[in-house]
Each structure stands twice: as structure tokens, then as C-alpha cells.
């Protein structure tokens, strides 16, 4: 996936300033159509924030659209850039031979401390850039980076004057340019000299934030002079197959279609509690403590789809492939046979192997390639460990909205923080966007641990609201009658109810036919 958001025709946006589609995934959405055409954008970031990758990808995507580019390098030698960018599949040497990419190499001058900023030397540098632009017919220019140009200067007014000169020359060349600049702090001064952001028409900040011992990259458009852009920080990642990809939550639109068609949960008793099963395009959350049968419900959900000829996709983040297949066989379900028939794909990965943004892109790519009817994720709770609170929320919203837009059935599991229940962070993030919530709880009765299940929520449908006991054997899950003499099960404090109280409640429900055991709108 080269782009996350497709901008078909940004045109002239309100202000009269035309936008240039960058082709960098998600960036064009954040920029309300791209970067202001014919202007220079300052890209400021700390070490490891992907400034050079963005500068190179800006030219790569331009070449793909028939727009040649010039890369001005002050720090890395051209051969190093060619080698580093080859990891993304970008063949810069070929583009150079074709005349669509040109280097202006100033790294040797900087290395030998021969570069001096002044009327003559800066003029000579700009002449070299102009020559490369004329020779290639370049429409895009990347300059990496300002820090190397002005490293010997201490006067802010001189830096300001020279940056203005560079931007003016690039504007006269009628190119759209990116200039990178280093910053020392993630939330401190915008750039090293404190004046760069005032001279440039546009400023983008890249951050490589360390929170809770976890790294997270974000992009923020600080300003686009004279035109609009989306506000705030947006997560992004850098992937070998796609380069830089920005993932803006603002790209999510509430335009999902709805259907009245039902699909089986894979369990006849649960289907009956849900008035015939789940809606085909619904998101279902199954919440419970360890050992309550969440993975079993995933197995039955997949088996129910495969029996109807549907394609099923399982993302597992806690158990290996061998464990999942062994467990399924123990319940009478043959995952291996489903795979041979093309009805199942199982993807197992430890959450710690990559950041959540990378997990999301990988999951989306696999979904696009396999095109399943049903998707199960076991479990979301495992993914909480590899991100911050905000990052996890953005991941949950991003992947669930993608599944709903694709009109697939999605079942997610969540592990509660305590044995007897409680709300997990996962539930707090996903409960409002799920169509159905199923709670699995342990119930302690006279020194014996039993299990209870309830359909807490089912949007747009009648459903059984009772808390039913269930048992698990080698044939799967069997849902039985409701608990009749207990209260406080969901709170984790079950207490016995006297027969007199049960009789009183029964009489009350006889007068009120819409009592909790007779259903209601979810």
C-alpha cells in the first residue's frame, strides 16, 4: 500500500492556493489535498523522526506521477542515500540514469568545512540547484538539511536572511520544495535557530516521542500559510514496503452501510440469545477473564463461517499457530482442513515485534489480499502492552472502522483485569463502537467455580438479557439455563437470593412483560 488516503482532485482549495498531491500515504489528507504548490515546506524533527525518508519519498512519489526531482544533500553522501533508500525498493540509480532524479552533493564541502554562507558561496550553491532543476525539468526539490548549512553561524538574523534567500530562489524556480531541519526537543523550539518557522510559508513537525518506554512517531502540520490543513498530531510509521505512512483518525468517515442480514456465531444457543445471530457487518466484543472460553468463542465463530462457505481470517497475538490448531481439534474443529480448502488464514505474531501502527498497516494489507467475510482478533488486550493509551485507542478505532467499511463481521476478544471481571482498557476504547458485547464471567457458588454468559449489548436488535450458565467440553461451549438464585454476578460479587424475593420479582415481571428476561433493545 503506497497511500492510505487517495486524493483524486485537490484542485484549488478555497483560498486560491493550489495543492500538490505528495503521494505519501495519509499526508495528503492531513494537508487537505497535499502541500501548497510552488512553496517551500520546512520539515523539522529530532533524530530518528524520518526527515530524510520523507524528503526522499516526496521525490519518489513525484517521479511516479511524472514529476522529476532534485535532492540536495548536505550531510549524507549520494551513495549512502542510494543504499539506504534501496531498502524501500526505491532504485534511485535507475532514476538518475533516466534523468528524473538528480543529486546536488554538498556533503563533501560540509565535511571539509569549505562551505561558507555568504553572497558568493550561497549564490553558487543556488546556481547548482537551478542547473539541476533545469536539466531534469524538476517540479520537486528536497533539501536535507538546514542544520548543515548554518552550523557555523551564531547570528539568528543572518540565518533568517539566508533561509529567506533560499526559499525565494526555489519559488522563482516554480518548484514545490521540502527543507529539513533538526530540533533538539520534541516539544521545545520548532527548529535549532528559532527563526526557521517564521521564514518558511509552511511548517511540518515530525516527532519521535518516548512515552512509557515506548517510541511513537507523530506528524503535525504547524502552519500552511494562506490555506487549510488538519490540526493536531497524527501517528505515522515507516514500512519497508511503503515508506512513510500517516494514519489520521480524521480520515475515518461515519458512512458505513448497514444490513439486516444475520450470520451465525457458530453456537446455536448463542444465536438464539441474539435472535438469530449477529448482523453481518457488526463488530462483536467478547470480554472475559483467562480461561472463560474467549478463544473457544473465536474458534466457533470461525467454524460457523467456514461451514457456510465463508472465508475467515484469524489474527492471534497470544497463542502460537500450533496451540490454536491443537485447541481447535480438541473442540472438534479442523483448522488445517479449513486452510487447505481456502476458507481460513491464521496469522500469529507477538505484539512486541512491531509498533501498533505497523500492526495496523500489516493487518489491513492482509485483509485486502485475503478478502475474508469474517475476521477475529485474539486478543486486543495483548496489543495494549506495546503502545500508549492514546496510541492504542487510535489503533482500535482505525482497525474496527476499516472492518466495518469493508462490511465484514469482526469478533474481538478482551481480557478483564481481574478473575471475577472488571472493565479493561480495551473495553473502555471499543465499547462505544461495538455493535454487540458478550461478557463471560466466573461465578463462585458454594465453593465451586462456574461460568456465566450474558449478551450485554446488541445494537438494533432484541436479545436475551439473562445471565446464563455455560459449560465447556470436547464438543465446545454449551449454554444452559439462567442463574435464578444469584445477583451481583457481573459485579464480581454473586450473592444468593431468597425464594421469597424470587417470587416477588416473578410477580413484578408478570406485570411488566418487558422485564430483563424478556428482551429489549440493545
> What is the rounded CA–CA span in Å between residue 53 and residue 190?
19
* Angle, alpha carbons 403-405-406 (nearest 5°): 65
| CATH number of the structural domain spanning residue 143 | 3.40.50.300
The residue from 75, 186, 220, 407 that is catalytic is: 75
| Look-up of cell digits 498530531 | 233
Give the best-scoring range by mean pLDDT among 141-150, 213-222, 258-267, 467-476: 467-476
Cell numbers representing residue 473 in the block: 467440553
- DSSP, collapsed to helix, strand or coil, labels residue 226 as coil
Q: Is residue 4 part of a domain?
A: no
Does 27 have pLDDT greater than 90? yes
Closest CA to 317 of 283, 272, 287, 352: 352
Average pLDDT over residues 133-137: 96
For β-strands 436-445 and 448-458, DSSP reports them as: antiparallel
pLDDT of 120 reads 39
* Angle, alpha carbons 40-46-49 (nearest 5°): 80
Same domain flag for 284 and 236: no
> What is the rounded CA–CA span in Å between residue 491 and residue 468?
15
Cell numbers representing residue 403 in the block: 472492518
pLDDT band at residue 80 using 50, 70 and 90 as cut-offs: very high
- DSSP, collapsed to helix, strand or coil, labels residue 485 as coil
pLDDT of 392 reads 86
Cell numbers representing residue 448 in the block: 465451586
Same domain flag for 280 and 198: no
Number of structural domains found in the chain: 2
The pTM assigned to this predicted structure is 0.78
Q: Is residue 3 part of a domain?
A: no
Is 75 a residue of the active site?
yes
**245-301 pLDDT tens trace:** 999 876 665 566 667 889 999 999 999 999 999 998 899 999 999 999 999 999 999
| Mutual angle of helices 294-306 and 321-330, in 10-degree steps | 80
pLDDT of 491 reads 65
**333-392 pLDDT tens trace:** 999 999 999 999 999 999 988 889 999 999 999 999 999 999 999 988 898 888 888 888
> What is the rounded CA–CA span in Å between residue 242 and residue 64?
13
Same domain flag for 81 and 34: yes
Q: Is residue 2 part of a domain?
A: no
**Percentage of the chain exceeding pLDDT 70:** 80
**Percentage of the chain exceeding pLDDT 90:** 55
Does 85 have pLDDT greater than 60? yes
The residue from 162, 182, 318, 469 that is catalytic is: 318
Same domain flag for 197 and 329: no
Does 4 have pLDDT greater than 50? no
Does 90 have pLDDT greater than 90? yes
Same domain flag for 301 and 180: no
Same domain flag for 168 and 81: yes
Cα separation of the two ends of the chain:
38
Does 430 have pLDDT greater than 60? yes
**185-215 pLDDT tens trace:** 888 777 666 656 677 889 999 999 887 777 8
Q: Is residue 408 part of a domain?
A: yes
Cell numbers representing residue 387 in the block: 503502545
Q: Is residue 310 part of a domain?
A: yes
Same domain flag for 424 and 311: yes
Cell numbers representing residue 378 in the block: 485474539
Q: Give the rounded distance of the alpha carbon of 52 from its chain centre.
A: 22
Domain boundary among 199, 230, 251: 251
pLDDT of 512 reads 58
Average pLDDT over residues 427-437: 75
Is 318 a residue of the active site?
yes
Bridge partners for 75 per DSSP: none
Same domain flag for 319 and 461: yes
Q: What's 322-334 look like in SS3?
A: HHHHHHHHHCCCC
Q: Is residue 25 part of a domain?
A: yes
pLDDT of 219 reads 95
Q: Give the rounded distance of the alpha carbon of 418 from its chain centre.
A: 28
Q: Which of 226-235, 262-271, 388-397, 434-443 has the lowest mean pLDDT?
A: 388-397
3-state helix, strand, coil in the chain (%, to 5): 35, 25, 35
Same domain flag for 271 and 220: no
176 in Cβ contact with 20 (< 8 Å): yes
pLDDT of 366 reads 96
Same domain flag for 414 and 448: yes
Domain coverage including residue 365 = 262-518
Q: Is residue 56 part of a domain?
A: yes
Q: Is residue 498 part of a domain?
A: yes
Does 52 have pLDDT greater than 90? yes
Same domain flag for 345 and 203: no
Amino acid at each position: 500500500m503506497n497511500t492510505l488516503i487517495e486524493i483524486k482532485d485537490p484542485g484549488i482549495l478555497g483560498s486560491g492556493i493550489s495543492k500538490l498531491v505528495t503521494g505519501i500515504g495519509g499526508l495528503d489528507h492531513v494537508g487537505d489535498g497535499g502541500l501548497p504548490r510552488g512553496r517551500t515546506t520546512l520539515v523539522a524533527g529530532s533524530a530518528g523522526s524520518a526527515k530524510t525518508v520523507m524528503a526522499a519519498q516526496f521525490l519518489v512519489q513525484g517521479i511516479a506521477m511524472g514529476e522529476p526531482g532534485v535532492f540536495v544533500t548536505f550531510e549524507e553522501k549520494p551513495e549512502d542515500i542510494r543504499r539506504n533508500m534501496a531498502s524501500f525498493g526505491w532504485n534511485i540509480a535507475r532514476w538518475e540514469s533516466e534523468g528524473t532524479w538528480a543529486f546536488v552533493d554538498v556533503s563533501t564541502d560540509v565535511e571539509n568545512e569549505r562551505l561558507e554562507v555568504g553572497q558568493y558561496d550561497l549564490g553558487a550553491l543556488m546556481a547548482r540547484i537551478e542547473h539541476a532543476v533545469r536539466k531534469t525539468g524538476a517540479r520537486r526539490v528536497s533539501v536535507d538539511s538546514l542544520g548543515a548549512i548554518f552550523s557555523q553561524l551564531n547570528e539568528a538574523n543572518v540565518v533568517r536572511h539566508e533561509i529567506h534567500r533560499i526559499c525565494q530562489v526555489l519559488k522563482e524556480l516554480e518548484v514545490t520544495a521540502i527543507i529539513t531541519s533538526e530540533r533538539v526537543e520534541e516539544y521545545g523550539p520548532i527548529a535549532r535557530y528559532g527563526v526557521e518557522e517564521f521564514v518558511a510559508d509552511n511548517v511540518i513537525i515530525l516527532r519521535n516521542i518516548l512515552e512509557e518506554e515506548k517510541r511513537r512517531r507523530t506528524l503535525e502540520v504547524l502552519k500552511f500559510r494562506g490555506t487549510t490543513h488538519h490540526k493536531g498530531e497524527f501517528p505515522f510509521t515507516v514500512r519497508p514496503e511503503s515508506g512513510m505512512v500517516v494514519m489520521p483518525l480524521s480520515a475515518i468517515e461515519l458512512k458505513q452501510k448497514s444490513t439486516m442480514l444475520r450470520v451465525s456465531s457458530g453456537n446455536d444457543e448463542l444465536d438464539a440469545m441474539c435472535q438469530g445471530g449477529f448482523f453481518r457487518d457488526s463488530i462483536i466484543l467478547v470480554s472475559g477473564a483467562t480461561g472463560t472460553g474467549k478463544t473457544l468463542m473465536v474458534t466457533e465463530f470461525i467454524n460457523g463461517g467456514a461451514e457456510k462457505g465463508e472465508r475467515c481470517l484469524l489474527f492471534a497475538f497470544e497463542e502460537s499457530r500450533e496451540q490454536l490448531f491443537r485447541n481447535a481439534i480438541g473442540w472438534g474443529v479442523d483448522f488445517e482442513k479449513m486452510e487447505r480448502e481456502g476458507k481460513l488464514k491464521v496469522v500469529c505474531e507477538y505484539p512486541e515485534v512491531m509498533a501498533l501502527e505497523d500492526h495496523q498497516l500489516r493487518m489491513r494489507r492482509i485483509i485486502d489480499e485475503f478478502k475474508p467475510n469474517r475476521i477475529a482478533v485474539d486478543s486486543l488486550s495483548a496489543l495494549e502492552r506495546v503502545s500508549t493509551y492514546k496510541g492504542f485507542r487510535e489503533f482500535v478505532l482505525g482497525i474496527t472502522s476499516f472492518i466495518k467499511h469493508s462490511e465484514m463481521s469482526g469478533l474481538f476478544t478482551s481480557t478483564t483485569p481481574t478473575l471475577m471481571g472488571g472493565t479493561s482498557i480495551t473495553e473502555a476504547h471499543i465499547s462505544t463502537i461495538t455493535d454487540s458485547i458478550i461478557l463471560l464471567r466466573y461465578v463462585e457458588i458454594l465453593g465451586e467455580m462456574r461460568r456465566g454468559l450474558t449478551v450485554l449489548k446488541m445494537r438494533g436488535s432484541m436479545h436475551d438479557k439473562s445471565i446464563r450458565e455455560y459449560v465447556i467440553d470436547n464438543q465446545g461451549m454449551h449454554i444452559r439455563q439462567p442463574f435464578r438464585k444469584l445477583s451481583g454476578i457481573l459485579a464480581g460479587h454473586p450473592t444468593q437470593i431468597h425464594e421469597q424475593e424470587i417470587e416477588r420479582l416473578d410477580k413484578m415481571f408478570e406485570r411488566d412483560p418487558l422485564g430483563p428476561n424478556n428482551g429489549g433493545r440493545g
